[in-house]
Amino acid sequence: MSAFEQLGDLRPLPIWDGILARAVVGEEMTMAIVELDPNAVAAEHHHANEQLGIVLSGTMTFRIGDETREIGPGMTYRILAGVPHTATAGPDGCVVMDIFAPPRADWGALEPQEPSPPRWP
């Protein structure tokens, strides 16, 4: 197994309706490029993983705990383990990079789609 892979060769995981993640999984963390269709909604949820992220393109309205912001390219965010959060992509969709620690073991149960060209870069 190579240490290198093209983003477009990663099989997207359907996280929610209109939301795909292309994940690279290490021993201690998961990195994912997450593509949200226009107006796609990540329903309120929480997980045991700490999550750090940055918006790469597009916009979204993000609620983390009691704080809500409209965020765009270059904006970062931090979600501590167990904190409820939800996101709604803007009218042009959104692409973010998320880092999770520990790795997202629950994503292993998702059925990967065939590789396809990524929306970013």
The pLDDT tens digits of the residues spanning 68-103 come to 999 999 999 999 999 999 999 999 999 999 999 999
Please report the pLDDT score of residue 79 as a whole number. Answer: 98
Model pLDDT for residues 36-62, shown as the tens digit of each residue: 999 999 999 999 999 999 999 999 999
Residue pair 68/84 in contact (Cβ under 8 Å)? The answer is no
> Do 50 and 101 touch, CB atoms closer than 8 A?
yes
Span 99-113, pLDDT tens digits: 999 999 999 999 999
pTM of the shown model: 0.96
Q: What is the DSSP string of 42-107?
A: EEEE--SSEEEEEEEEEEEEEEETTEEEEE-TT-EEEE-TT--EEEEEEEEEEEEEEEEES--GGG
3-class SS at 24? strand
Residue 78 tokens read as 């931090």
Q: How many CA atoms lie within 13 A of 5 on its CB side?
A: 14
Domains and CATH numbers, the chain: 7-105 (2.60.120.10)
